[in-house]
Structure formats: C-alpha cells, structure tokens
Structure 1
C-alpha cells in the first residue's frame, strides 16, 4: 500500500461513526494535518471531522505511530471532551508570541488585552507542565484527559494558542458567551500547502484564523513573527510543498467562537 492508502485505511478503520466513514478527501486532509503537527509546522490539530470519540482518535494516532507515519512524541489531549493531537514542543515555542484580543460583548469594539495575555501565559504554562509530565510517564496509547482543571479556562483562547495562531480571542465567560465581532471587518489569514506523501499532491489548508482589521497594526509584530517562523520550519522539511499565505477581509452579521 502507498503512504496515502495507509493513511486513508487507518482513518476509515479507526474513525468511523456508525456506518459512516471519512471520505478519501477528508482522510487525506487529516493525514496532511497530522504530518504538519509531526513536523512542528503547527502545534496541534483539533479533531472535528466527525463525531469520533477521544478513544477513536487515540486509536488512529497509535495506528499511524505503529506504521511510523507520525512522530512518537505526539499525544492525544482530551480537553473537556475535545480531541486534539498535540506536539508539546511546538506548543511551547508558540505560546510566548501570541496577542490576546478582548471581544467581550459589553465592549464597543475589540481591543488588545495585555492583562489577559499574562493570564493566558499562566494557564498555558500549567497546561504544558501537564503535557510534559504526561510524556515522561510514557504511557503509549492513552490520552491525557483534562476535565476539572480547565473548567475556568476560556477554551476559545486556549485553542488559539494550541492551534498555533498568532492572535487569539478572549471574552469573559461569566458575563456572556457572546462577543462584539458582529459587523466588525475581520482580516482572515489562510496558509495552504500541498502534501506530497506517496508522490501524489493533495492541497490542504494548514491554518485559518482572523484578526480584527482595525487591529492589524497593533498585531503586526505577532503576525510577522508567525509568518517567518512558519516559513523557516517549512524550509526544513520536504513532506509539504508550495506554501501559500493569503489574506482576505470579511464582515459577518455574527461570529461564533
């Protein structure tokens, strides 16, 4: 079997829900994302292709690792029922260069928050200690489950860091889960590449995140650092090719975070 066929077979065997399996295209997109995490091109991926359980995602990763298709250092993080495939080393290198945008519903417009950036740093340091401690236990085939510890975390904010975004959103959950992004022009940044495994190229999206257009200047440093780090890491591997980073502006009547 080719590398692509092995990835597709693993996805269909491990991640089926009822009688529904992932399509070939979905399986290849997932394979490309896992490869990007293995290579450190992104810190983690949030599994949301279908309703597969954390145990199924763990089985999928373990299958890839047994076939030497994914790094042995990757682990599954069960964050309050959300499944993430994580490269802890890449998370640490990303967390210190993230801007936090306060989008509380009570605000007239989004604003950079240094206080929430400091608070996020404390949360992420605690999470990294859990990840690294779990790795040292060396219990292959088991996910790291975090339930009670993350009840007070804003998961939208934490996901932004775990997924490698240079800008992440925060809102006061005690106040409201709504936000002030309605009809706010957003700059959407997308990074795509071609996955070369097996010799046949498959185009996939590695990143997609937004920044309030009015805050482009204030977040320029984080955006440029993210771009340069991605380019540097991209040049150090040969699994993904033809990196493309694009920007567009959208204005939506409502934004769900």
Structure 2
C-alpha cells in the first residue's frame, strides 16, 4: 500500500519535469524562430536603409544614366553609359533654352518610352516640368515649347532662316523663298499647336495628328530644332534630292556638360548647307551663332562652347 502510494506520489514530479522540459524546448524553438525572423527583418531593414542611402547619394550624372537605361531600352538592349550621358546633356540643353528641341534617335524607343524617361527626370527635379514629349508622325521629340515658339515666331515675322530647295529635278540646290504659302501655312499651324502645348504639363506624349500629314518633315525638323538653315523639296512628286556628290559645309556646336564635378563633352547641333550657298546663308549662320553664344553665357551647366565647320561630299544624302 505504501509502495503504491509512493509511486503515485512520485508521478506528479515526473510529469512536472516532463512538462517543464517540453515548455523549455518549445520556448527555445520559439526563441530560435524569433531570432531568425528578427535577424531577417533586421537585414531587410538594413538593405532598405542602404538602398535609400545609395539612392539619396547618387550624383546627377548617375540619376540621368539610370533613368535612360531603365526607360529607353530597345528589346533587351539598354542605352550605353556614353549614349545616356550624351542624351542627358542634350536634354539639359533643351531645358536651358540652348536648343529648342531634341529629336530622339539614340535607338528605336518610341514616344511612350521617351515620355517615361522625361517624367523620371522631372520627378527627380533634374529638368523642369515645362518640357514635353511630342510625337510627330512616329518621331519622338523632347520639346521646350516656349523656346520653339519664340524661334518659329521670329522666323514667321522677321525671317532668320535660309530655306534650301533641293528638289531632285534641280541641277543643283538653290535658295528658296523662305515663306512660301506652303511654309506659311505649316508655320502657322505649328504656332497654334505650340501655344496650346505650352499650357499643359503632359504625362503622355502629345500627338500632332492629321494636320502634320501634309507637312514636309525635313523642313519642320529644321524649324523645331532651331537650325538657321533647312531643306525643302516637293514631297508630292519625289522624296529624292539633288545633294548627291554636292560639297556640304557641316556646322557643329559642342560643349562640355557639367552637372557634377565630372564633365562630358557632347554635340548640341549639327546641320549642313551646300558649300556653294555658304556665302548667301552666312548672315543667318552668323546670327544663329551670336544668339547661341548669348544664351550660353546665361547659364553655367554647360561650358566651353565650340562651333566649327568642315566640308564633306557624299554619294547620297538622306533627309
């Protein structure tokens, strides 16, 4: 009887010990789980914190390059770093009013991608909100609407641009009447378009629409890009021209872009004029150069403006 009572009296102690051991094991597993989760959480927080610090310390050049490589890929191929820097310098020049617009041709990215790139720059406060993406018959342009309108109005009211007739039927290029009825109509439509665009901060590309179907895009690009010389041909008859084996004087303007301490040299302008017509177009070329120098002196993002000329002769010229 006493043996039986002794066995019963020891049972609660054994059970208590087993219960304590189980609780210890459970608590230890819980602690390990907690420690694992806490460590992972800490690592995650450290990674997020690290990413924020890295993002906040990126230079302007790095932000420009990151936006270009993220937004402007063609297929699986992104822009190279030099391409991204060239594009950044030109967009900065448009923002500063040094050039009225940029025709995007770095790769086959479309207007929607160019708009995404521009929006990224604007959200990072790298360029102003006033810049717009224009889709002109499938061609994407980044436009400073105020600068473009000012340039076009000056042409419309005061001249200042030489128009070169390069119809294929001509024996050689010739100076054309700068404001033919066709060019007057096109310029007038373009001005109306630009005045409407100035009032918008677009999140999508602005499409010119049907009114541009009859425009000579070669001439329009000369207007939009701020060239002192542009070409014209009768596109209702032929898209060919008479510039084959014609000596051309090519004018280029380049500068060093300095968003940070490191500089990057880029080309801001490049256009041509038949060498035989250089003297006739010289007043407009000189006026363009002086106005560019004046605007250049009013900013400090780009330095070392260089304008130079060279002569080339090509078997064919695509406009």
Q: TM-score, normalised by structure 1?
A: 0.96
In structure 1, C-alpha distance between the alignment counterparts of 2:202 and 2:234, rounded to whole Å: 37
Is this contact kept in 1: 2:166–2:241, CA < 8 A?
A: yes
Aligned mate of 1:106, from 151, 165, 169: 169
- Residue 53 of structure 1 deviates from its aligned partner by 1.4
Q: 1:252: which partner in 2?
A: 314
The reply on whether 1:65 has 2:128 as its aligned counterpart is no
Q: Does 1:157 align with 2:219?
A: yes
Report the counterpart of residue 33 of structure 2 in structure 1. Answer: none
Question: In terms of Rg, which structure is larger?
Answer: 2
Counterpart for residue 239 of structure 1: 301
Deviations along 1:70-126, whole A, 9 cap, x unmatched? 121110110001000001121123231211100000001111111555632431231
Deviates more, 1:112-121 or 1:143-152: 112-121
1:120–1:158 CA contact under 8 A, matched in 2: no
| Aligned counterpart for 1:5 among listed residues 37, 53, 62 | 62
Question: Residue 172 of structure 1 corresponds to which residue in structure 2?
Answer: 234
Distance change in 2, residues 1:10/1:72 (3 Å) = same
- Point out which structure has higher relative CO (alpha carbons under 8 A, 6+ apart): 1
Rounded to whole Å, the distance in 1 between the matches of 2:241 and 2:203 is: 38
Match in the other structure for 2:252: 190
Higher helix proportion (structure 1 or 2) = 2
Assess, with a 3 A threshold, how the Cα gap between structure 1 residues 118 and 68 changes in structure 2: closer, same or farther: farther
Query: 1:32-85 CA deviation, whole Å, 9 max, x = no partner?
Result: 000000000001000011111111100110111111111211101100010000
Query: 2-side partners of 1:129 and 1:72: how far apart?
Result: 21
Deviation string 1:115-141 (CA, Å, 9 cap, x unpaired) is 5556324312311211221332x3531
Superposition map of 1:86-105 within 5 A? 86-95=143-152, 96=155, 97-105=160-168
Q: Does 1:215 align with 2:277?
A: yes
Is this contact kept in 2: 1:88–1:128, CA < 8 A? Answer: no
Query: Against the structure 1 CA distance between its residues 117 and 42, is the aligned structure 2 distance closer, same or farther, given a 3 Å change threshold?
Result: farther
Instruction: Give the TM-score normalised by structure 2.
Output: 0.78
Partner of 1:131: 194
Corresponding residue for residue 71 of structure 2: 14
Larger strand percent: 1
Sort the Cα spacing of 1:201 and 1:121 in 2 relative to 1 into closer, same or farther, 3 A. farther
The runs of 5 or more residues in structure 1 that have no matched partner are none
Contact 1:131 1:144 in 2 (8 A): no
Residue 199 (structure 1) shift: 1.2
For residue 31 of structure 1, report the CA deviation from its aligned partner. 0.2
Quote the offset at 1:167 in angstroms.
0.2
Give the match for residue 29 of structure 1. 86
Question: Which contiguous aligned blocks of 4+ residues in structure 1 show a shift greater than 6 angstroms?
Answer: none
Contact 1:91 1:162 in 2 (8 A): yes
Determine whether 1:224 maps to 2:286: yes
Is the contact between residue 116 and residue 170 of structure 1 (CA under 8 Å) also seen in structure 2? Answer: no
Tell me how far apart the structure 2 counterparts of residues 249 and 67 of structure 1 sit (CA, whole Å). Answer: 41
Contact 2:145-2:197 at 8 Å conserved across structures? no
Q: Distance in 2 between matches of 1:227 and 1:74?
A: 24
